[in-house]
């Protein structure tokens, strides 16, 4: 989110540059003609003859096709390409129901109306929004008239275009007290392009205005310059006024397209203007800007620069269209000046003309997305906006082609009458605060944001009107009200945080009332809504590679052994009863080599089932049996994925669905991955896909393509399982489970611990905060080495966790198999935070039994080689530790490469949130490991720089460009932030990115068949031998 200055002559410096969108006359797109809905009213649609139109699916399809066709025709080539891309993304290969398709097209049309901006687009939006309202219920079939709930997959696909539309209604910010470089930095942090120094060749001269084209300051030559930033979307315009050989007046205004923020600079120092020789350069830092302009010789900029944008544009001149070309002179939202708080703060928009009948309609152009809306006019901007801008415009430039047209007299008079009106407040607050779905036991925070968009002080109060005895009210754990407070014009909005923390399933709602002295809106009722939902169970199919190469080692471990251990760990992480819902997770296995089959059908998991899996499907003997997991044969990944997708089935709304694909090799059996991905996606677009590559003979681009297709997940690659990477496969599967179930990593290393000391050693710690609701802790080691030390896991209160232990009366679940031990801890109510908040410690104590001979004897029973520097022979043992929490405090990370080839620019973002609210106190660092093992350390920024789109919004950003080496890059995000209680919250997340030319498919099934190649060579050799014999015995004899 004053009047004229003491130097009246120079008050006009910025006037012609830019102000109200009253004169921002970029020609609107043509009006939509012969619309199938003539008008709407009282929830009904009417045709041109005034007859009500029955709402049927067929009619809705017809009108949607009309709008899609009409808007596509008005779009330019660039927008058409975007339309084609969005249409393909929403519909290609997808099997929506008729109602789903109608909803998707409705959202697409609303987005198009914003992008195309037809002259009557605001009317069309009302009609399409009425269509959207009708789609809230089923229109046909057995469910006709019942509430329609779109599938989650569709909701997620619609999110990007909904977000683009939402950005047009972002909350406005407030004024500034900064000047100089601090003001420049503030402008950059608020998404405003920073202009180059004056005199730079980046300023483009558009042309000069004649005296007849100027509203004020005739006599000085007005030259028009523009600047478009390559990094920050927006525009800068400069209007130097030249007398003789000097620039006597030079104002610069820059507008951020996404944020609507505008910054002002003038050639002043110490409140007085200075001349600049024509052709000379002048650093921006020499100009006055922001609060420094207050009482300066340039006047009060915002007394003229009011309206949708900060520019006064003259059609058909260098300071207008088409001369300014593609310069982005309109922001996505109402423009908000970063100026001194005693200056007018661009109150509005005002809709007074909506109730004024007039033959000529000023509002036929002056709407958002076209020529822009009018400001709230009052005596506060009478001297500037009314006299210099409005009165000149209605006689000299407006309407286009016929200035002063009497048909517009009623609208012009209404605007001019407002010039004598007293300033008044203007309340703005959303009428609904929707917390959406929140899982029981967790919380989500949103805020009532109360703005004053007027030009006088606003007095407001806010009270929850739902009685305290109403049980609905108990679903909100924090409700904030206010007694009367005053919001000044341009002042910061009042922000009232509310926390929804349901303990009961179902929909909940309560009411708040905001009261104010806004004469037009004395009260505004606000509805808080939310829905408490049960935890969502998980359906997982693990795709297990049993090709011949899986019997080989990857570093110190056999691949097949490591895969079995990781698969068993994932099995043990699954939940028998998810959150007390009475149902649990499901698990299935698909095994593959040159063929594939269902190894274990997808079914509910129980503790008894886990033990049975260890004794059968994932037993030691299973790794040696050809009908189970014995490694043999070639690699057919695509077919195995098809089989696994068949096990998962179609998209479900009440369960998450996951496929995890592991491979150690290059696919050489049809169908190939590229041939099956499309069908898997169309069959279930809710599927989360994860892929894991093990060893060096893999195809990482194909693994990346697998995960790019799904709704979530990522690919992970490990070359050798040795030293710090010894337990990579287990930790990969641990992280996959955490990611799929919405948990955050707290810590994830493997350590080398010395047994040569008798003293206890702290292997690692995991910090738990009050925001965390439950956790999984993972301990990893070689089972045969446990004879030489004792491992203890200790709670913050010093309790050593043993079977039967509890925290706050809640039993701790413990499971130990193979290389791992898992602790599952559910944390009690916040009233018992002392039981769980703090450091959970993994402690190792050597027992004195270590010796080289004893280790040698023990390792004879181990399946791990320990050939690296972490060698038990020298007294070092590898210990892995990881922790993941389900928490109200979360880290979300993303990688956005410009391409998937070497040399790509990789945009890295990390977001911290506390109960859904941006957590702005923190830092995020990223360690990048390149394919040649070069490590890079980069900090992410939340200050509007380094590619960060908005400062202090809880999202940190930076770019990584050292990507010239082809291969797999690992990105380790590490954050430390503070929750609302001030507790330090560490979080981690890792992602892998492959940048290289994509691998192709084998041309033939037998291309990699060695016997086939030998046979071919033998045949060729035989033919050559026959030719040689014929030549020697026949041809030479005849010669």
Answer yes or no: do 497 and 585 share one domain. no
Most confident residue range from 10-19, 290-299, 468-477, 796-805: 468-477
What CATH number is associated with residue 997?
2.60.40.1930
In a domain, 984, yes or no: no
Per-residue model confidence (pLDDT) at position 1013: 64
Per-residue model confidence (pLDDT) at position 139: 84
Per-residue model confidence (pLDDT) at position 643: 96
Q: What is the pLDDT of residues 70-125, one digit of tens each?
A: 899 998 888 898 888 888 888 888 888 889 898 889 889 988 988 888 866 656 77
Q: What is the pLDDT of residues 885-929, one digit of tens each?
A: 999 999 999 998 988 999 999 999 999 999 888 999 999 999 999
- For residues 547-562, average pLDDT: 93
Per-residue model confidence (pLDDT) at position 580: 64
User: Looking at the predicted structure, is the pLDDT value of residue 1007 above 50?
Assistant: no
- For residues 589-613, average pLDDT: 94
Answer yes or no: do 875 and 946 share one domain. no
Coil, helix or strand at residue 397: coil
Answer yes or no: do 565 and 431 share one domain. no
Indicate the pLDDT class of residue 41, thresholds 50, 70 and 90.
Answer: very low
Residue where a domain stops, chosen among 496, 514, 533: 533
C-alpha–C-alpha distance, residues 409 and 394, integer Å: 9
Per-residue model confidence (pLDDT) at position 1005: 44
Q: What is the pLDDT of residues 970-1005, one digit of tens each?
A: 999 999 999 888 899 999 999 999 999 888 777 644
Residue with more model confidence, 567 or 868: 567
* Residue 525, token pair as written in the block: 């009722």
Q: What is the pLDDT of residues 943-956, one digit of tens each?
A: 888 888 778 889 99
Indicate the pLDDT class of residue 806, thresholds 50, 70 and 90.
Answer: confident
155-161 contacts at long range (C-beta below 8 A, 24 or more positions apart)? 156/711, 157/89, 157/90, 157/104, 157/685, 158/90, 158/103, 158/104, 158/107, 161/86, 161/107, 161/108, 161/111
Residue where a domain stops, chosen among 493, 517, 533: 533
Per-residue model confidence (pLDDT) at position 21: 31
Per-residue model confidence (pLDDT) at position 146: 82
User: Looking at the predicted structure, is the pLDDT value of residue 167 above 60?
Assistant: no
User: Looking at the predicted structure, is the pLDDT value of residue 1036 above 80?
Assistant: no
Answer yes or no: do 594 and 688 share one domain. yes
User: Looking at the predicted structure, is the pLDDT value of residue 1008 above 60?
Assistant: no
Residue with more model confidence, 435 or 513: 513
Sign, CA torsion 177/182/184/186: negative
Answer yes or no: do 1027 and 942 share one domain. no
Per-residue model confidence (pLDDT) at position 217: 61
Residue 260 contacts residue 331 (beta carbons within 8 Å) = yes
Answer yes or no: do 851 and 800 share one domain. yes
Q: Look at 383-392, 672-681, 832-841, 1002-1011 and tell me which has the smallest mean pLDDT.
A: 1002-1011
Residue where a domain stops, chosen among 515, 533, 551: 533
- For residues 166-188, average pLDDT: 66
Per-residue model confidence (pLDDT) at position 151: 86
Q: What is the pLDDT of residues 1015-1028, one digit of tens each?
A: 767 777 777 777 66
Residue with more model confidence, 711 or 328: 328
Residue 906 contacts residue 959 (beta carbons within 8 Å) = yes
Indicate the pLDDT class of residue 883, thresholds 50, 70 and 90.
Answer: very high
- For residues 557-581, average pLDDT: 89
User: Looking at the predicted structure, is the pLDDT value of residue 609 above 60?
Assistant: yes
Q: What is the pLDDT of residues 693-709, one digit of tens each?
A: 998 888 888 888 888 76
Answer yes or no: do 816 and 950 share one domain. no
C-alpha–C-alpha distance, residues 499 and 514, integer Å: 18
What CATH number is associated with residue 823?
2.60.120.380
C-alpha–C-alpha distance, residues 889 and 442, integer Å: 10
Instruction: Using alpha carbons, list the distances in angstroms from residue 119 to 26, 157, 176.
Output: 12, 29, 36
pTM: 0.65
- For residues 290-316, average pLDDT: 85
- For residues 279-291, average pLDDT: 93
- For residues 392-408, average pLDDT: 89
For the chain, first and last CA: distance in Å? 99
Answer yes or no: do 173 and 156 share one domain. yes
* Residue 739, token pair as written in the block: 């990611």
User: Looking at the predicted structure, is the pLDDT value of residue 377 above 60?
Assistant: yes
Phi, psi of 452, deg, nearest 5: -115, 105
Indicate the pLDDT class of residue 44, thresholds 50, 70 and 90.
Answer: low
Per-residue model confidence (pLDDT) at position 4: 24
User: What residues are paired with 438 via a beta bridge?
Assistant: 532
Answer yes or no: do 87 and 218 share one domain. yes
Contact partners, residue 316, CB within 8 Å, separation at least 6: none
In a domain, 514, yes or no: yes
Per-residue model confidence (pLDDT) at position 141: 83
In a domain, 985, yes or no: no
Answer yes or no: do 819 and 933 share one domain. no
Answer yes or no: do 285 and 181 share one domain. yes
Residue with more model confidence, 466 or 665: 466
Residue 650 contacts residue 657 (beta carbons within 8 Å) = no
In a domain, 980, yes or no: no
Phi, psi of 542, deg, nearest 5: -95, 125
Total tally of structural domains belonging to the chain:
6
Answer yes or no: do 204 and 153 share one domain. yes
- For residues 560-568, average pLDDT: 95
Helical H runs in 117-179?
A: 121-134, 152-166
Q: What is the pLDDT of residues 256-272, one digit of tens each?
A: 998 899 999 998 887 66
- Angle between helix 98-116 and helix 121-134 axes, rounded to 10 deg: 160
Most confident residue range from 141-145, 157-161, 630-634: 630-634
Per-residue model confidence (pLDDT) at position 1009: 56
Across the chain, mean pLDDT equals 86
Residue with more model confidence, 205 or 943: 205
In a domain, 978, yes or no: no
Indicate the pLDDT class of residue 448, thresholds 50, 70 and 90.
Answer: very high
In a domain, 789, yes or no: yes
DSSP conformation class of 29: B
Per-residue model confidence (pLDDT) at position 1011: 61
In a domain, 930, yes or no: yes
Per-residue model confidence (pLDDT) at position 617: 96
In a domain, 987, yes or no: no
Range of the domain at 1024: 1010-1039
Per-residue model confidence (pLDDT) at position 214: 75
């Amino acid at each position: 989110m004053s009047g004229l200055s003491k130097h009246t002559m120079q008050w006009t410096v910025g006037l012609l540059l830019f102000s109200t969108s009253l004169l921002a006359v970029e020609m609107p797109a043509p009006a939509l003609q012969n619309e199938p809905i003539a008008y709407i009213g009282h929830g009904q649609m009417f045709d041109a003859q005034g007859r009500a139109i029955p709402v049927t699916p067929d009619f809705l399809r017809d009108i949607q096709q009309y709008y899609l066709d009409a808007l596509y025709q008005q779009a330019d080539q660039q927008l058409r390409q975007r339309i084609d891309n969005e249409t393909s993304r929403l519909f290609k290969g997808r099997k929506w129901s008729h109602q789903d398709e109608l909803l998707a097209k409705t959202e697409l049309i609303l987005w198009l109306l914003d992008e195309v901006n037809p002259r009557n687009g605001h009317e069309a939006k009302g009609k399409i929004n009425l269509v959207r309202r009708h789609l809230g219920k089923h229109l046909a079939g057995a469910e006709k008239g019942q509430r329609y709930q779109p599938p989650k997959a569709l909701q997620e696909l619609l999110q990007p275009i909904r977000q683009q539309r939402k950005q047009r209604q972002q909350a406005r910010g407030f004024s500034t007290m900064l000047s100089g470089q601090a003001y420049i930095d503030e402008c950059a942090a608020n998404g405003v392009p920073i202009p180059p120094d004056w005199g730079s060749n980046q300023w483009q001269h558009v042309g000069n205005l004649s005296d007849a084209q100027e509203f004020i300051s005739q006599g000085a030559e007005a030259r028009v310059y523009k600047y478009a930033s390559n990094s920050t979307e927006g525009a800068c315009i400069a209007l130097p006024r030249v007398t003789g050989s000097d620039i006597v007046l030079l104002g610069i205004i820059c507008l951020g397209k996404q944020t609507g923020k505008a910054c002002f600079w003038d050639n002043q120092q110490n409140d007085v203007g200075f001349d600049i020789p024509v052709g000379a350069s002048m650093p921006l830092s020499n100009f006055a800007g922001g609060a420094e302009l207050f009482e300066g010789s340039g006047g009060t900029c915002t007394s003229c620069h009011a309206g949708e944008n900060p520019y006064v544009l003259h059609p058909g001149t260098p300071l207008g269209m088409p001369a300014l070309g593609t310069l982005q002179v309109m922001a996505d939202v109402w423009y908000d000046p970063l100026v001194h708080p005693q200056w007018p703060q661009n109150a509005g928009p005002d809709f007074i003309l909506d109730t004024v009948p007039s033959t000529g309609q000023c509002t036929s152009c002056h709407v958002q997305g076209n020529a822009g809306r009018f400001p709230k006019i009052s005596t506060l901007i009478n001297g500037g906006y009314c006299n210099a801008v409005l009165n000149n415009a209605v006689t000299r430039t407006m309407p286009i082609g016929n200035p002063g047209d009497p048909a517009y007299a009623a609208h012009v008079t209404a605007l001019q009458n407002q010039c004598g009106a007293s300033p008044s407040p203007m309340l703005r607050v959303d009428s609904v605060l929707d917390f959406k779905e929140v899982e029981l036991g967790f919380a989500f925070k949103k805020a009532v944001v109360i703005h004053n968009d007027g030009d006088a002080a606003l007095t407001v109060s806010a009270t929850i009107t739902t009685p305290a005895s109403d049980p609905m009210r108990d679903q909100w754990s924090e409700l904030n009200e206010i007694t009367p407070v005053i919001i000044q014009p341009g002042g910061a909005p009042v922000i009232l945080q509310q926390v929804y923390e349901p303990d009961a399933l179902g929909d909940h709602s309560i009411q708040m009332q905001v009261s104010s002295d806004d004469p037009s809106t004395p009260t505004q009722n606000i509805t808080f809504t939310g829905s408490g939902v049960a935890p969502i169970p998980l359906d997982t199919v693990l795709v297990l590679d049993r090709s011949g190469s899986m019997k080989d080692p990857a570093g110190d471990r056999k691949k097949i052994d490591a895969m079995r251990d990781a698969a068993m760990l994932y099995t043990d992480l699954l939940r028998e009863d998810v959150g007390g819902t009475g149902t649990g997770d499901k698990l299935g296995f698909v095994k593959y080599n040159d063929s594939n089959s269902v190894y274990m059908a997808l079914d509910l998991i129980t503790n008894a089932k886990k033990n049975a899996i260890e004794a059968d499907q994932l037993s030691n003997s299973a790794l040696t049996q050809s009908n189970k997991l014995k490694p043999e044969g070639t690699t057919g990944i695509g077919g195995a994925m098809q089989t696994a997708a068949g096990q998962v089935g179609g998209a479900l709304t009440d369960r998450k669905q996951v496929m995890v694909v592991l491979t150690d090799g290059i696919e050489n059996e049809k169908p190939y991955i590229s041939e099956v991905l499309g069908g898997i996606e169309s069959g279930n677009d809710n599927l989360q896909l994860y892929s894991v590559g093990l060893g060096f003979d893999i195809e990482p681009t194909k693994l990346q393509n697998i995960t790019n297709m799904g709704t979530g997940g990522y690919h992970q690659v490990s070359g050798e399982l040795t030293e710090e990477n010894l337990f990579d496969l287990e930790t990969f599967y641990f992280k996959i489970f955490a990611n799929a179930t919405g948990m955050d990593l707290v810590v994830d290393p493997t350590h080398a611990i010395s047994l040569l000391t008798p003293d206890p050693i702290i292997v690692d710690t995991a910090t738990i905060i009050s925001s965390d609701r439950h956790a999984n802790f993972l301990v990893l080691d070689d089972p045969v080495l446990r004879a030489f030390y004792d491992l203890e896991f200790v709670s913050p209160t010093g309790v050593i966790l043993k079977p039967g232990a509890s925290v706050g009366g809640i039993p701790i679940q413990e499971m130990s198999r193979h290389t791992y031990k898992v602790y599952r801890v559910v944390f009690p109510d916040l009233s018992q935070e002392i039981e769980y908040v703090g450091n959970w410690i993994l402690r190792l104590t050597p027992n004195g039994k270590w010796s080289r001979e004893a280790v040698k004897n023990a390792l004879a029973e181990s399946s791990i080689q320990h050939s690296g520097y972490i060698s038990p022979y020298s007294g070092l043992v590898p210990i892995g530790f990881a922790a993941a929490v389900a928490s109200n405090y979360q880290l979300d990370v993303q990688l956005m490469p410009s391409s998937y080839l070497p040399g790509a620019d990789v945009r890295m973002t990390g977001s911290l949130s506390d109960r859904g609210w941006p957590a702005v106190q923190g830092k995020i660092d990223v360690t990048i490991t390149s394919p040649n093992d070069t490590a890079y350390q980069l900090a992410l920024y939340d200050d509007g720089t380094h590619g960060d789109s908005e400062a202090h919004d809880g999202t940190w950003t930076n770019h990584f460009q050292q990507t010239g080496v082809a291969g797999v890059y690992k990105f380790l995000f590490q954050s430390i932030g503070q929750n609302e209680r001030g507790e330090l919250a560490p979080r981690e997340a890792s992602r892998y990115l492959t940048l290289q030319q994509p691998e192709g498919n084998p041309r033939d099934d037998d291309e990699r068949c060695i016997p086939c190649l030998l046979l071919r060579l033998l045949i060729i050799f035989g033919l050559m031998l026959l030719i040689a014999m014929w030549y020697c015995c026949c041809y030479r004899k005849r010669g």
